[in-house]
Structure 1
Amino acid sequence: MTGFLFEITFWLTVPFWGLMVFAPTWAWTPRIVSSPLIAAPPLVVYTALVAGHLPELWATMSSPELGELREFLGTSWGASAVWAQVLAWDLLIGAWMYRESRRLGLNPLLMGPLLVFTIILSPFGFAVFLLIRARCDTPDRATTVVTRQ
């Protein structure tokens, strides 16, 4: 069962990534990916994986030590749970990047490959996007967020 949950987790996120990469200008894409509920499918898998292991999970995460964390990740349920968590957070980061790119008017031909890069190596994709965002965004948009002007 753990192997199945591991395998299905990625496929539960693919439709959302697909919308952002291949249909970024479709009217429904921003509506769908603006919801934090897009992270719910992998988090449901996460919950299923850890439900029977909460004491072990709590002990490992409440006072993390390298040896214990390595042991935790050495279990199929632990590695699969972390995988589900990573995919959920990566999807939320990707959705934020997508929304910001639309706000900034960035070309989808730039963002598509960057989102794919983020799927594969999210910290690097996110860092590249932050650099692009810093370059393209207005220096002080605090008043525009409040006044919408």
Structure 2
Amino acid sequence: MLTPDFLFTLANPLALLGWALLVLAPRWRFTNLLVLSGALPLLLAAAYAVLITTHYLDGHGAEGGFGSLAQVAALFRDPWALLAGWVHYLCFDLFTGAWEARDARRRGVPHGWLVPCLGLTFLFGPVGLLLYFGVRRAIEKTSLLTENQSTAL
């Protein structure tokens, strides 16, 4: 029988594989196939959809809701709802990290500058995204300054 704990032990390594590929093998073809294509985030999204459909929307889900912090706390006392929430985070954070990697490649952001952003996105989602936009902006400004200086000569 599938339990929330068992499914948690499947979802975590799957997401960690995606993060490891983004950081350690950003140009490997399997990274492109599994992560940058969106395949792993979409697999997590499908798992989330199944969890929500079978354990929340069917009317047999946890008590609680989204109307107050107390309702959210009550909702996540149910292990199935907690698992769904965790898979939600895994999915969206990995999707965001993959987007950062694709955007960085397209804009010429060096991978060494991207890695701390990916680490923070993995650990703290929006903070990593915020850092990525800051790094991207700083590199764009530096590139513009260098470009303007070379054309002035």
* TM-score tier after normalising by the smaller chain length: 0.7 to 0.9
1:123 aligns with 2:123: no
1:4 aligns with 2:9: no
Asked if the contact 2:117–2:128 (Cα under 8 Å) also holds between the matched residues in 1, the reply is yes
Alpha-carbon distance in structure 1 between the residues aligned to 2:32 and 2:39: 13
1:5 Cα deviation (Å)? 1.2
Aligned-residue CA RMSD in angstroms?
2.4
Structure 2 length as normaliser, TM-score?
A: 0.76
Deviations 1:35-77 (A, max 9, x none): 23321232233234331321347x825xx22222110012111
Which runs of at least 4 in structure 1 moved beyond 6 Å after TM superposition? none
Q: Which secondary structure does the structure 2 equivalent of 1:60 belong to?
A: coil
| Residue 47 (structure 1) aligns with | 49
In the alignment, which of 83, 92, 96 is matched to residue 93 of structure 1?
Answer: 96
Alignment of 1:71-86 (within 5 A): 71-86=74-89
Specify whether residues 114 and 102 from structure 1 end up closer, same or farther in structure 2 by C-alpha distance, changes over 3 A only.
same
Q: Which secondary structure does the structure 1 equivalent of 2:26 belong to?
A: coil
1:96 Cα deviation (Å)? 0.5
Structure 1 length as normaliser, TM-score?
A: 0.77
1:119 Cα deviation (Å)? 0.6
